[in-house]
Amino acid sequence: MRAAKMEESEPERKRVRTDEAGAAGSRSEAEDEDDEDYVPYVPLRQRRQLLLQKLLQRRRKGAAEEEQQDSGSEPRGDEDDIPLGPQSNVSLLDQHQHLKEKAEARKESAKEKQLKEEEKILESVAEGRALMSVKEMAKGITYDDPIKTSWTPPRYVLSMSEERHERVRKKYHILVEGDGIPPPIKSFKEMKFPAAILRGLKKKGIHHPTPIQIQGIPTILSGRDMIGIAFTGSGKTLVFTLPVIMFCLEQEKRLPFSKREGPYGLIICPSRELARQTHGILEYYCRLLQEDSSPLLRCALCIGGMSVKEQMETIRHGVHMMVATPGRLMDLLQKKMVSLDICRYLALDEADRMIDMGFEGDIRTIFSYFKGQRQTLLFSATMPKKIQNFAKSALVKPVTINVGRAGAASLDVIQEVEYVKEEAKMVYLLECLQKTPPPVLIFAEKKADVDAIHEYLLLKGVEAVAIHGGKDQEERTKAIEAFREGKKDVLVATDVASKGLDFPAIQHVINYDMPEEIENYVHRIGRTGRSGNTGIATTFINKACDESVLMDLKALLLEAKQKVPPVLQVLHCGDESMLDIGGERGCAFCGGLGHRITDCPKLEAMQTKQALGVAALGPSCGHGACGDPCQGRHPLPAARQVRQEVLAEGMGSAVCRRPIRRGTAGELGGPGRWPGARG
């Protein structure tokens, strides 16, 4: 019995053990599975750092893709695929060249991006309306062909090939743009000027034309509209004064001018002093022609500060030519004292200032008084690309003549830049005066500084005179005449004397301060080193000067191969290779060489003033430049009122009495040479 019971209990025990073994096996398998699914605990701080790193990687990747799309360059992924280690089939030199080419491609794309941005800025600041009168724009009047004249070049010049003309231009560094450019002529006699004019030129010591005259005078005599750009002292005034004398002489010989008729030629200058100087040149050659049995040519001077009655005395007898400043001319036109009905010749001297923001409305108003087509000429030593593009809208198939870069300093001027503290300027000024014998010209930005310098020099026994816009016209005229005649040794002036004035034998120009714009600096130092003579220009700078202007000054000195002082050598404008992109160096808005239009302080100042609601940047009436007492305080509505009156009255009450007979020489079928020309 006991044995049987033991046999029965053994299988049960085995089953229990088997069940226990199975349960133990299943527990071990579950534990293994739990070990595989185990995730270690990561602290919250570490999890946040990992998440932040992932987000940064995504942003960098997205920015890189956008940059590749904008620049059009190859994706950077290709560079990552290039093995960085040694390659058995490619030499190290080839690898270096490949990487260098890729870097240059990325650099070129950056330049293209810069050019596109600059084009957008130029388009945004460009004037939407063309530089035309209101009547011409309202009626859609356009002229396709330039005015025809009776003048033709000598036959042997016409027979020359275009290649020979190009060789002449290349020899004299003349750059021309335009269609059907007249040939350059290398002597005044071959330009068919009368003997009296040739004698007058020799008396002035002018025996051969300068580069701007070689190409500019034939262009104007051919009746073409023109933009003339040349460095200061290159003889630009003769380029537009001699042709207008010949045009008026031809008109007078065909049909004498009657009372109150004229002018036929109009020259507009930005300052009274420049207008008076230009008027003197015209009077000189007209007097020589009269002495040579030619008809009397009358020239009127219309500037502020003079009696209107005195000016009208000349106009009543009939006037052939008129030299004027914008303010006085607009006043006479508004009062119908002057008529531009038969005027066919218009020259704007220092045109970059005339067309700039402050004078644009004045020029449009003056254009509104013209009837019929006119020959328009623009001249300056500094004319930025923005002004050139805008000026071309007023011209018919213009010829652009450029002798040297627009805004470049004359190579005949030795430029010396010195760091002088503000409180030491006045004392150091006396030391600088000892560099050269008189006459010496001193420029200052503020009228108060001009008066202070003048008083200091007089106390030290220096024979000095001063001019600025705050002085009356009689005092300014006497000061300039005394300085020109050598009675005074020093002339102290604001920038009113820096534009176009020609003083004989000035060897030294001192800039008491650095002007706010680099183009004013170019005009200042251009008062010396004229007509091939050498001069010295000394400029005082200190920490009060604007850094952007100093950068432009440094670039100007390097361009002219002048010594750069240590204080300017330490100035850097970032990547200097970006200054030469697009085939044009520097800023297209102001002409400065030390920056691009994207960093132009003048443009930034203009945009700031516009944002503040300032209507105009400069003089609104034109008097500020010519020195009238208003100093640019007249409101703009006066100009608009003139324009409205002109339109309402049909462009003036006076009707042109002889529109057919007082035509151009080509329309009248005139001869092929000037009256009185020989040879």
- Listed in order, strand segments (DSSP E) in 276-318 are 299-302
Query: What is the structure's pLDDT at 613?
Result: 63
| C-alpha span between 46 and 568 (Å, rounded) | 52
What pLDDT band is residue 29 in, cutting at 50, 70 and 90? low
Query: What is the structure's pLDDT at 27?
Result: 55
Question: Mind listing the pLDDT tens digit for each residue in 161-210?
Answer: 999 999 999 999 999 999 999 999 999 999 999 999 999 999 999 999 99
Q: Is a pLDDT exceeding 70 seen at residue 629?
A: no
| C-alpha span between 157 and 580 (Å, rounded) | 38
| C-alpha span between 118 and 441 (Å, rounded) | 38
| C-alpha span between 356 and 21 (Å, rounded) | 104
> How large is the angle between the packed helices 637-648 and 326-334, nearest 10 degrees?
40
Cα 531 vs. chain centroid, distance in angstroms?
23
The 10 Å Cβ neighbour count of residue 515 is 23
Of the two residues 521 and 5, the one the predictor is more confident about is 521
Alpha helices, DSSP H, located in 469-593: 473-484, 518-525, 547-559, 566-569
What pLDDT band is residue 15 in, cutting at 50, 70 and 90? low
The 10 Å Cβ neighbour count of residue 127 is 14
Mean pLDDT value across residues 140-147:
84
Task: List the 440-443 sheet strands across, edge first.
Answer: 413-419, 535-541, 508-511, 440-443, 490-493, 464-467
Query: What is the structure's pLDDT at 407?
Result: 62
Query: What is the structure's pLDDT at 630?
Result: 44
What pLDDT band is residue 546 in, cutting at 50, 70 and 90? confident
CA-to-CA dists, residue 456 to 20, 427, 537, 619, angstroms: 120, 9, 21, 31
- Listed in order, strand segments (DSSP E) in 420-550 are 440-443, 464-467, 490-493, 508-511, 535-541
Mean pLDDT value across residues 641-649:
35
Q: Kindly report the backbone phi and psi dihedral angles of residue 363, in degrees, each rounded to the nearest multiple of 5, phi listed first.
A: -65, -40
Query: What is the structure's pLDDT at 653?
Result: 34
Q: Is a pLDDT exceeding 90 seen at residue 466?
A: yes
Question: Mind listing the pLDDT tens digit for each residue in 61-106?
Answer: 776 666 665 555 444 444 444 455 555 567 778 778 878 877 776 6
Q: Is a pLDDT exceeding 50 seen at residue 638?
A: no
What's the whole-number average pLDDT of the chain?
A: 78
Highest mean pLDDT among 139-143, 219-223, 555-559, 607-611: 219-223
Buried b / exposed e along 33-72 (16+ C-beta atoms within 10 A): eeeeeeeeeeeeeeeeeeeeeeeeeeeeeeeeeeebeeee
Query: What is the structure's pLDDT at 281?
Result: 95
What pLDDT band is residue 580 in, cutting at 50, 70 and 90? low
Tokens describing residue 610 = 């516009």
Mean pLDDT value across residues 443-455:
94
Q: Is a pLDDT exceeding 80 seen at residue 583?
A: no
Query: What is the structure's pLDDT at 577?
Result: 52
Question: Mind listing the pLDDT tens digit for each residue in 270-317?
Answer: 888 899 999 999 999 999 999 998 999 999 999 988 888 888 888 888
Q: Is a pLDDT exceeding 80 seen at residue 499?
A: no
Q: What is the pTM of this model?
A: 0.68
Q: Which residues contact 518 (CB under 8 A, 6 or more apart)?
A: 407, 549, 552, 553, 556, 590, 591, 592, 593, 594
Question: Mind listing the pLDDT tens digit for each residue in 248-269?
Answer: 999 999 989 988 888 999 999 9
Q: Is a pLDDT exceeding 60 seen at residue 354?
A: yes
Query: What is the structure's pLDDT at 67?
Result: 62
Q: Which of 372-376, 395-399, 650-654 has the lowest mean pLDDT?
A: 650-654
Q: 371 near 341, Cβ under 8 Å?
A: yes
What pLDDT band is residue 641 in, cutting at 50, 70 and 90? very low
Q: Is a pLDDT exceeding 90 seen at residue 672?
A: no
Q: Which of 16-30, 37-51, 242-256, 594-608 has the lowest mean pLDDT?
A: 16-30
Q: Is a pLDDT exceeding 90 seen at residue 17?
A: no
Query: What is the structure's pLDDT at 633?
Result: 38
| C-alpha span between 479 and 461 (Å, rounded) | 17
Task: List the 265-268 sheet strands across, edge first.
Answer: 174-177, 399-403, 226-230, 375-380, 345-349, 265-268, 321-324, 299-302
Three-state DSSP class for residue 267: strand
Mean pLDDT value across residues 127-155:
78
Query: What is the structure's pLDDT at 1?
Result: 47
Q: Is a pLDDT exceeding 60 seen at residue 465?
A: yes
Q: Is a pLDDT exceeding 50 seen at residue 576?
A: yes
Q: 278 near 237, Cβ under 8 Å?
A: yes
Cα 549 vs. chain centroid, distance in angstroms?
15
Query: What is the structure's pLDDT at 31?
Result: 55
What pLDDT band is residue 505 in, cutting at 50, 70 and 90? confident
Q: Is a pLDDT exceeding 60 seen at residue 19?
A: no
CA-to-CA dists, residue 644 to 325, 342, 639, 648, angstroms: 22, 21, 9, 6
Domains of the chain: 143-405+629-668 (3.40.50.300), 413-545 (3.40.50.300)
